[in-house]
Amino acid sequence: MNSIDSQQGNEKYCFVGFWPRFWASMVDTIVIVLITLPLAHLVYGEAFWGSGRVAPLESDFLISYILPLVVVILFWLYKSATPGKMVIDAKIVDVKTGANLTTKQSLIRYIAYYVSLIPLGIGFLWVAWDPKKQGWHDKVAGTVVIYVHRGT
């Protein structure tokens, strides 16, 4: 079982593998959809559900990209986890110290999601065979996802 020593004592944590992280991301996706769809409906009305483009590019960009970025980063900064990671009892920490993420790390990690996604999602799949269960976005940001409970 993979674990790291935290600078916050000699606590050992276990790395979270691919499948638990996959399911956590599904929970996060549902949460984001539950936020953005009603907001889009509120802003655009019934036309949102019809065919064709009804949203000005700026509004669509704010609701579809900026709002999720802000929500996710705030969860990382204040809870060290998104709702999905909280469901699986996991959190994201600095790989070297075990400390909570900095704002800079959070921004880098979020932007690096796109780097992980672009080549057929291989950066996310990397979690499955990496010794520390890090995706490319984790490696770029210097983060790791661990279970909250102590390992043995």
User: What does R_g of the chain's alpha carbons equal in angstroms?
Assistant: 17
> How would you classify the pairing of strands 12-15 and 90-94?
unpaired
In the 8-state DSSP scheme, what is residue 119? T
Q: Which residue has tokens 């900064």?
A: 77
pLDDT for residue 58: 77
Reading the block at residue 91, the tokens are 């959190």
Name the residue range of residue 143's domain. Answer: 3-150
Count of residues making up the chain:
152
pLDDT at 6: 42
The overall pTM is greater than 0.75? yes
Total domains, the chain: 1
Residue 133: CB atoms within 10 Å: 21
Give residue for tokens 């993979």.
2
Give the mean pLDDT of 38-57: 72
